[in-house]
Amino acid sequence: MDLGIQNVSKAFGATAALRDISLAIHAGELIALLGPSGSGKTTLLRLIAGLESPTAGQVFFGDEEASGKPIQQRQVGFVFQHYALFRHMTVLENVSFGLSVRPRESRPPKREIEMRAMDLINMVQLTGLERRYPAQLSGGQRQRVALARAMAIEPKVLLLDEPFGALDAQVRKDLRHWLREIHDRTGHTTVFVTHDQEEALELADRVVVMNEGQIEQVGSPDEVYDHPAAPFVHRFIGEASELPVHLGQGQIWLGGQPTGLASDQIGLALLFFRPHQIELVDDGSPCLVGKIIASRRMAGTRRLDLLVGSGGHHVEVDVPIDHPAGQQDMLTFRPKVWTLFPENEDEAGVRRKEAREARVVYPRNRSAGPLRQYEPSCS
Amino acid sequence: MADQTISIQSATAETPLVRLVLMAIAFLFLALFLFLPLVVVVSEAFRNGVGAWFQAILDPDALASIRLTLLVAAISVPLNMVFGVAAAWAIAKFEFRGKAFLITLIDLPFSVSPVISGLVYVLLFGSGSVLGPWLKGWGIEILFAVPGITLATIFVTFPFVARELIPLMQDQGSADEEAALSLGASGWQTFLHVTLPNIRWGLLYGVLLCNARAMGEFGAVSVVSGHIRGLTDTMPLHIEILYNEYNFAAAFAVASLLVGLALVTLVLKTAIERRYAD
């Protein structure tokens, strides 16, 4: 079942939760709605389900306009963040609920309802627990009951609100693989909401990155990670360091110093790179110079906090564990992969102000003289 | 080492002496103000023997008051159950203008003296009002009749069910209901299979309290009843009349029935609270 969201807005009183959103979801896709809290991702999911109605715009199920349809008629399987299992019903009764409340003419016989519920309970690997009550199950088990219950009504789409949010890390990973398997097996169109980028990247066919009620980017995990469409996406997905730079003469400049990075654009821009996508420079060619203010051990690398350029911009880079840079004061490096986002003067002014304020926060240890004095060392 | 461990005491534990004094005060207070009156009521009721007790209870006027009390409770408790669930539902599950006002309104019967509640009905339906004579023209008596007593009782006992359910329903949120709806259940099915089971113990508790008050209400009912013996006297009113006639044995006999009802309510309440805890 294709899903279409066309120019949908949603306001709660004076607050806009969604602003003019359009999105096409193809049949059988596994889609992640990814964003920080308050970005409108859950509202969008509830709009698709029919738990909220849009202030403006339309929702399509296939070719059919569904905006006016009540949730009962939409045939969506909705898995709630805290599962919302019926606590006075057993697992079997919970899973059977959707079939047993059907009007008499479309309700299967009692035997068949139970058989179909048992099939689903087997599928979510809870065989033998069908007589238990929700309170007697672990978080991961409850999650699977909720999924089985949602799938019992043979939904056209499966919607999951933060499906793994309340689980601990290991269970979360197992369930992730398992959800992917079930999706591949059943072929439901599936939309899930998450604030966990790792989850979205690993699980989804396409990721919808949301921010402040708008869609920032829609793309495959590779696209949103490698080719972020906006500064927000770059900051939100993966780790990012950013520097305000100047473009001209075929180069990228930082505070009047050439960086050795080529660009044929002109004007002000933000330079983004990821801490692990850098190369160390020791041949004296143009590069970025940073004063090392902290060194932390990450899992497989060493993470260095640097203050770069005359503005003292804070960036993070990763170096090999055995690299001597861990013991040095200075580091000379260049991003291997980077992204530029052009910037107009006003934004730059605001951002520079923010950067100045933020700089005070970073610890300056050892003999921190004027930062400027370190700069010429590699140009 | 052993000496050191003995002196270690939990930060919130009091010394034995303090504990003893606190418990003694609590028990003394309870005995003096709660248990003693109970004992007096029961002993006075049976002062002249079981025969006299039965005689007092089986007196036609006493029986009429018992019947009236049961009738009023049988009408007002179910109505307040429905009103209470509806009000709690509206407050807990919806956002609307005037919600805070509605919550205050529900508490009104608790904060207003019952006598004033009764007087309101006298003003509304009395002979000097607009409504009273009009209804009388249609042959409907409100004041000094069963409808008036029932109205006053409903007013006074309204908050019990709603007050019990509002925090419970607010705490539970509407995710369960949303889940039921998403599974295709109609509004009524959702209420019957999901909402009602979730609130059943709270509801029963509220109904019990409501019932106890409905049967025991004196002030408001006293104002609207008119004290017509055998017709508009409820049990509490009948007790007062008997007492004022210095017929203490009979007064306490009927009172012991009310006390018995209160005790049954208490026991049921405790049993329910134990279920709650599961």
Query: pLDDT tens, A250-272?
Result: 889 998 888 888 888 888 899 99
DSSP-assigned beta bridge partners for residue A34: A194, A209
Q: Are residues B93 and B219 in the same domain?
A: yes
Highest mean pLDDT (candidates A290-299, A362-371, B24-33, B94-103) = B24-33
pLDDT in tens, A141-198: 999 999 999 999 989 899 999 988 878 888 888 888 888 988 998 888 999 999 989 8
Report how far residue B98's alpha carbon sits from residue B186's, in angstroms, rounded to the nearest whole number.
28
Q: Are residues B179 and B200 in the same domain?
A: yes
Q: Are residues B37 and B131 in the same domain?
A: no
Please indicate, yes or no, if residue B122 is contained in any of the structural domains.
yes
Highest mean pLDDT (candidates A305-319, B70-84, B89-103) = B70-84
Region of A38 please: left (phi>0), alpha (psi -120 to 50) or beta.
left
Q: Are residues B41 and B129 in the same domain?
A: no
In the block, tokens 């730079």 appear at A245
pLDDT in tens, B43-54: 988 888 899 899
Please indicate, yes or no, if residue B240 is contained in any of the structural domains.
yes
For B121, phi then psi, to 5°, come to -70, -35
Q: Are residues B24 and B71 in the same domain?
A: no
Chain B contact for A12 (CB, 8 A cutoff): no
| Inter-residue contact B56 to B249 (CB < 8 Å) | yes
Please indicate, yes or no, if residue B2 is contained in any of the structural domains.
no
The token pair that represents A327 in the structure block: 């013991």
Q: Are residues B121 and B244 in the same domain?
A: yes
Chain B contact for A153 (CB, 8 A cutoff): yes
Residue B2 has pLDDT above 70, yes or no: no
User: Which residues of chain B are within 8 Å of residue A51 when distances are taken between CB atoms?
Assistant: 178, 181-182
Report how far residue A363's alpha carbon sits from residue A370's, in angstroms, rounded to the nearest whole number.
15
Region of A294 please: left (phi>0), alpha (psi -120 to 50) or beta.
beta
Which of A85, A86, A98 is facing B184, going by the closest CB pair?
A: A98
Q: How far is B263 from chain A (nearest CA, A)?
A: 30
| Contact assignment for B185 to A72 by CB distance below 8 Å | yes
CB neighbour class for A262 (10 Å; exposed up to 12, middle 13-18, buried from 19): exposed
| Contact assignment for A49 to B179 by CB distance below 8 Å | no
Q: Are residues B229 and B115 in the same domain?
A: yes
Q: How far is A342 from chain B (nearest CA, A)?
A: 44
Q: How many domains are contained in chain B? A: 2
Q: Which of A34, A40, A35, A48 is nearest to A2 (CA)?
A: A48
CB neighbour class for B270 (10 Å; exposed up to 12, middle 13-18, buried from 19): exposed
Q: Which residues of B172-187 are buried (b: 16+ CB within 10 A; e: fewer)?
A: bebebbbbbbbbbbee
| Inter-residue contact A214 to A21 (CB < 8 Å) | yes
Report how far residue B70's alpha carbon sits from residue B235's, in angstroms, rounded to the nearest whole number.
9
Please give the single-letter amino acid code of residue A79.
V
| Contact assignment for A78 to B193 by CB distance below 8 Å | no
| Inter-residue contact A151 to A120 (CB < 8 Å) | yes
Q: How far is B204 from chain A (nearest CA, A)?
A: 16
Q: How far is CA A284 from the centre of its chain?
A: 39
Any idea what the CATH number is for the domain that residue B142 is in?
1.10.3720.10
Contacts of A227 (CB under 8 A, 6+ apart): A219, A339
Question: Domains plus CATH for chain A?
Answer: 3-235 (3.40.50.300), 239-374 (no CATH)
Q: Are residues B37 and B69 in the same domain?
A: no
DSSP string, A151-167: HTT--SEEEEESTTTTS
Report how far residue B118's alpha carbon sits from residue B247's, in angstroms, rounded to the nearest whole number.
27
Q: Are residues B127 and B149 in the same domain?
A: yes
| Contact assignment for B184 to A82 by CB distance below 8 Å | no
Chain B contact for A88 (CB, 8 A cutoff): yes
User: Which residues of chain B are within 8 Å of residue A84 when distances are taken between CB atoms?
Assistant: 175-176, 178-179
pLDDT in tens, A326-360: 677 888 899 999 899 987 655 555 554 444 443 33
Chain B contact for A231 (CB, 8 A cutoff): no
Which of B179, B186, B189 is facing A80, going by the closest CB pair?
A: B179
User: Which residues of chain B are within 8 Å of residue A102 when distances are taken between CB atoms?
Assistant: 184
Contacts of A293 (CB under 8 A, 6+ apart): A305, A306, A307, A362, A363, A364, A365
Q: What is the pLDDT, as a whole number, of residue A356? A: 41
Interface of B with A (CB under 8 A): 175-176, 178-186, 189, 193-194, 197-198
Residue B81 has pLDDT above 80, yes or no: yes
Please indicate, yes or no, if residue B7 is contained in any of the structural domains.
no
Please indicate, yes or no, if residue B8 is contained in any of the structural domains.
no
Contacts of B255 (CB under 8 A, 6+ apart): B41, B45, B239
> If you measure CA to CA, which chain A residue comes closest to B195?
A86
Q: Are residues B31 and B123 in the same domain?
A: no
Q: Are residues B104 and B179 in the same domain?
A: yes
Residue A70 has pLDDT above 80, yes or no: yes
| Contact assignment for A87 to B194 by CB distance below 8 Å | no
Please indicate, yes or no, if residue B258 is contained in any of the structural domains.
yes
pLDDT in tens, B112-168: 999 998 898 888 888 888 888 888 888 888 888 899 999 999 999 999 999 999 999
Q: What is the pLDDT, as a whole number, of residue A346? A: 53
Please indicate, yes or no, if residue B205 is contained in any of the structural domains.
yes
pLDDT in tens, B220-235: 999 998 888 888 899 9
How high is the mean pLDDT of chain B? 88
Contacts of B143 (CB under 8 A, 6+ apart): B121, B122, B125, B126, B132, B224, B226
Q: What is the pLDDT, as a whole number, of residue B36? A: 92
Q: How far is A313 from chain B (nearest CA, A)?
A: 46
User: Which residues of chain B are within 8 Å of residue A152 when distances are taken between CB atoms?
Assistant: 183
Which of B184, B197, B198 is facing A101, going by the closest CB pair?
A: B184
In terms of residues, how long is chain B?
A: 278
Q: What is the pLDDT, as a whole number, of residue B210? A: 93
| Inter-residue contact A315 to A242 (CB < 8 Å) | yes
Q: Are residues B88 and B182 in the same domain?
A: yes
- Pick A327 or B35 by higher pLDDT: B35
The token pair that represents B278 in the structure block: 């599961």
For A291, phi then psi, to 5°, come to -95, 125
Which of A80, A88, A102 is facing B197, going by the closest CB pair?
A: A88
| Contact assignment for B178 to A80 by CB distance below 8 Å | yes
Q: How far is A155 from chain B (nearest CA, A)?
A: 9
Please indicate, yes or no, if residue B247 is contained in any of the structural domains.
yes
Chain B contact for A340 (CB, 8 A cutoff): no
Report how far residue A196's alpha carbon sits from residue A372's, in angstroms, rounded to the nearest whole number.
39
Task: Find the domain containing B35 and state its range.
Answer: 15-46
